[in-house]
Structure 1
Amino acid sequence: MADFFVSLLQNKSMNFLAHLYLSKNNKNILIGNFISDAIKGKDYKKYPHEIKVGILLHREIDTFTDTHPIVKKSMRRLNKRYRHYNGVIIDILYDHYLAKNWSNYSEIPLELYAENVYSFLNENIATFPEELQHLLPNMIQYNWLVNYASIEGIDRVLKGMNKRTKGISKMDLATEDLKLHYLEFEADFTAYFKELMDFTTEKTTYLLTK
């Protein structure tokens, strides 16, 4: 479990809420999107088609995000002390803005959405890679998706991530950056996420036809 978290941090993929939301109403794509970080290389090919689409979609979202100029601008707002953890921090901060402004993106209240997602994922947990079978109960217990909406919740997440890097990442200090550039980060997220939604819609349609 600890090793998997470290892997997530190293590979910059901590924006769980965004990945789940961008799966839209396709539950198989949602499963693929959720388990993607635990699926290495071409191992995705052993899964049913729509789950494969979710796995590949997750990878496409990560690539889109890693190379996006707005995301890079957000990273430059951060203190230089975080080094290669900048991307992880921006993932988490962007999920904060998605959660905080959830009503702009969904008619379903975030609390209900999270409850439904937790329930569905838990029903399918036996089919997940072992790492996710350990991660999901923690996500549910600490209600990550809803807690992203508050600065206090994000602060707890960042402190937890810092502990998992044994203090090397200094991510526990990133709440200071969030507060210092709060409106700028929010503007970055809003512009970026609009483009990401359009990209994801097109990419999902393409992957489903392959």
Structure 2
Amino acid sequence: MNFLAHLHLAHITDTSLAGALAGDLVKGPIDHLPHPLQQGIWLHRQLDSRIDAQPQMQTLKALFPHPYRRTAGILLDMAFDHQLASHWSGYHHDSLEHFCQQSYHTLLTDPQLPQVGHRLVSNMARGDWLGSYRYREGIALAVNGISRRLSRPQLLEGGDAVLWQHHEEISDTFMELYPKMMDYARQRALEWPNR
């Protein structure tokens, strides 16, 4: 799951959006951070571990040709955000457009968001990355952007095309797993050890 899914799960669990985003930015110990940020990062990590451990995800990764096996997880994160954006009304009462704009605003005005996060969210808001995940072109741009940040960008180049070859299998897996991830997020948010 990528930015959109983590922000959506933070919203439905009433946990920190900044923490949900910072889960991709902050490495290592988090006990020095403010409690809401700690909880959001902890939940992000719990969710990533849970989804990665699902047998269905291993089945999807096995569909990827050999050159993309190492980056299949990144590509599937983007594919799940595409599925969520494409079927948004089934998972959230608000429109995707309003959710995205509200999320950008909340993140940019949250003093707990790490500085690197402000730069990221400014770029996200300027290009409406979250809303663009509905479209093939938006996913292609996102994958291209991620590839430029890798030491070996060729590991991702063209990977978005593989997603469309397996669109049906990815969609079926998303529909099966995402409601379970929503339930798991609600449960784990209540079980956060530092409440």
TM-score by length of 1: 0.84
Quote the offset at 1:111 in angstroms. 0.5
Alignment-derived partner of residue 52 in structure 2: 66
Choose the corresponding residue for 2:21, options 24, 34, 42. Answer: 34
1:61-83 superposed Cα distances (whole Å, 9 cap, x missing partner): 11112211111111112222123
Alignment-derived partner of residue 148 in structure 2: 163
Amino acid in structure 2 at the alignment position of 1:54: G
**Is the CA contact (8 Å cut-off) linking 1:99 and 1:146 kept in structure 2?**
yes
Choose the corresponding residue for 2:188, options 203, 206, 210. Answer: 203
Aligned 1:2-151 pairs, distance under 5 A: 15-25=2-12, 28-42=15-29, 44-124=30-110, 126-151=111-136
Q: Structure 1 pair 45/84, CA: closer, same or farther in 2 (3 Å)?
A: same
Quote the offset at 1:169 in angstroms. 3.7
2 CA distance for matches of 1:155 and 1:39? 26
Quote the offset at 1:94 in angstroms. 0.7
**Is the CA contact (8 Å cut-off) linking 2:37 and 2:112 kept in structure 1?**
no
Percentage identity across aligned positions?
29
Aligned-pair RMSD on alpha carbons? 2.0
**Is the CA contact (8 Å cut-off) linking 2:10 and 2:40 kept in structure 1?**
yes
Q: Which runs of 5+ in 1 are unaligned?
A: 1-13
1 CA distance for matches of 2:33 and 2:106? 18
Q: Structure 1 pair 206/166, CA: closer, same or farther in 2 (3 Å)?
A: closer
Q: Which moved more, 1:127-136 or 1:63-72?
A: 127-136
2 CA distance for matches of 1:36 and 1:111? 23
2 CA distance for matches of 1:41 and 1:166? 21
**Is the CA contact (8 Å cut-off) linking 1:29 and 1:54 kept in structure 2?**
yes
Q: Which runs of 4+ in 1 moved over 4 A?
A: 25-28
3-state DSSP of counterpart to 1:127: coil
Q: Which moved more, 1:154-163 or 1:164-173?
A: 164-173
Q: Which moved more, 1:99-108 or 1:178-187?
A: 178-187
Q: Which moved more, 1:148-157 or 1:75-84?
A: 75-84
TM-score by length of 2: 0.90
Amino acid in structure 1 at the alignment position of 2:19: G
**Is the CA contact (8 Å cut-off) linking 1:15 and 1:92 kept in structure 2?**
yes
Quote the offset at 1:209 in angstroms. 6.7
Amino acid in structure 2 at the alignment position of 1:16: F
Q: Which runs of 5+ in 2 are unaligned?
A: none
2 CA distance for matches of 1:90 and 1:169? 17
Q: Which moved more, 1:126-135 or 1:24-33?
A: 24-33
